[in-house]
Chain A
Amino acid sequence: MTKKDALEQIAHGEVPMRSRWHFTFQAALIIVALIIALAAAIYLASFIFFIIDRDGLLILPRFGWYGFLEFVLALPWAIILLSIILILAAERLSLRFFPIYARPVLFSLTTLLIIVVAASAIIIRTHVHETLENRLPGVRDYYAQFDVPLPTDVYTVIADTESAQSGITAHDATGAVVYVALYPTTNFIGSRDIDPDDVLVILGSRTGNTIEAKSIQILNTLMSWPEKINSEFKEDNWMK
């Protein structure tokens, strides 16, 4: 090749100039991809919050560090990972535009993360997922696939008797009567006064029909219930 090649090629019409539409379309595609990635990330993030709320996972951190660890392990990591990938993809796409690329990556990532979390918090407040679950056929079954069970050492029961020194009688979601053994070392989160019909979330170990309680929290009847506990105990009329 000689130095004049580029100009010669252009002069002879061998180098076509791409039309303005080509670049407009390309930019539009990137913007659409960016919007889709962001919208999907927002949907997934709101779905994660919905699952956490529905499945009562927020009960776990109240059990202290151990509970917090259980909470972290119980999180729907596959969905979290997918939403992180979508946020990263949106960030990479946004880097094509000035002045985003002139800022540190951490700045654009944090901005996107704030947008996603804020938008999903708004979505959660509008109860979109509950509406979809209740009104659209098939959505309930689909959402049920993402059910996150509480850890195996966390039990939910309804008290049948008042609190006593050594323990109380209660029944679980299947209606089976269980004895909750209380010890001086049992940690009460909140009130120690258990009344009949109180919902108890217990961290401990179960042998047969006896639960040895390490930690107990009472879900007050005035609290809003995790949807999962509501549906598990649907036989208890007062919870309906």
Chain B
Amino acid sequence: MTGETVPDEQLARAVQQGDKNAFVELYRRYQPKILGYGRRFLYRYEDIEDAAQEVFIKAYSNLQGYNANRKFSSWIYRVAHNTFIDIIRKKGREPLSILDFDTFINLPVREKMSTEEKIAFKMDLAKAEERIARLPAKYREVFVLYYYEEKNYQEIAEILHIPTSTIGVRLLRARTLLKKETKPV
């Protein structure tokens, strides 16, 4: 069971039943994505390829804990998120808060981008990687998942285990911080 058309969830179920080849197919599909996610989220860190490998080892090891009725991509990104956060914690280079006020209540997000602004913003992203890397981890990760990995709010909520309303707030703050950095002195 390794065809292109086979859904991820079906492959994952096959791995759960002992089909190691199905995991090879999942690896082939997700390795570039997880590596890309790691490279952007852990921009200033070394050994990102090792971290991505670690994600697949953990994913295989914990695959029986995956509920095949839910989206596989959210699950493996969740494994990646936990692995990358562990790395940040171990290196101790940037603070990670346990409790964030933005997860407490539904905060309204006022800023809305027009389609033109969105296109211009996406074009600017290519030049902004270094500035994105300087964003605090909690804003950087949501930003990477939304703009680079093209996950929607629901998927990001499942990956990070945070309220969907918090994602809009973090994206807005990330954009505001990026704008501040680009302002001429």
Residues of A within 8 A of B (CB): 1, 3, 5-7, 9-11, 15-20, 22-23, 26, 95-96, 98, 101-106
Contacts and interface: CB of A to CB of B under 8 A. Distances in A.
A7 B27 contact: yes
Given A96-B161, A101-B163, 4 more contacts: A3-B49, A6-B27, A20-B64, A22-B65
A11 B62 CA distance: 16
A105 B20 contact: no
B158 interface: yes
B158 A98 contact: yes
Contact of A5 (B16, B53, B63): B53
A18 B163 contact: no
A17 B27 CA distance: 16
A20 B64 CA distance: 5
A40 B49 CA distance: 46
B152 interface: no
Contacts of B157: 101-102
A20 B23 CA distance: 17
A103 B163 contact: yes
B82 interface: no
Interface string B160-180: 011111100000000000000
Which of B54, B161, B162, B163 has most chain A Cβ within 10 Å?
A: B163
A184 B65 CA distance: 75
A122 to B, nearest CB: 29
B20 A104 contact: no
Contacts of A7: 23-24, 27, 56
B111 interface: no
B49 A1 contact: yes
Given A6-B57, A98-B158, A105-B103, A19 B165 contact: no
B123 interface: no
B20 A10 contact: yes
A107 B150 CA distance: 28
Interface of B: 16, 20, 23-24, 27, 31, 49-50, 53-54, 56-57, 60-65, 70, 99, 103-106, 154, 157-158, 161-166
5 contacts: A17-B64, A20-B64, A26-B65, A102-B164, A103-B163
A10 B104 contact: no
B64 A104 contact: no
B64 A106 contact: no
B163 A104 contact: yes
A91 to B, nearest CB: 11
A104 B161 contact: no
A105 B105 CA distance: 7
Contacts of B105: 104-106
A95 B103 CA distance: 12
Contacts of A105: 99, 103-105, 163
Contacts of A26: 65
B22 to A, nearest CB: 11
A26 B157 CA distance: 22
A95 B62 contact: no
A11 B23 CA distance: 10
Contact of B64 (A18, A102, A103): A18
A95 B161 CA distance: 8
Nearest to A5: B53
Contacts of B154: 102
A99 B145 CA distance: 20
B146 to A, nearest CB: 16
Contacts of A10: 20, 23, 56-57, 60
B27 A23 contact: no
Contacts of A104: 103-106, 163, 165-166
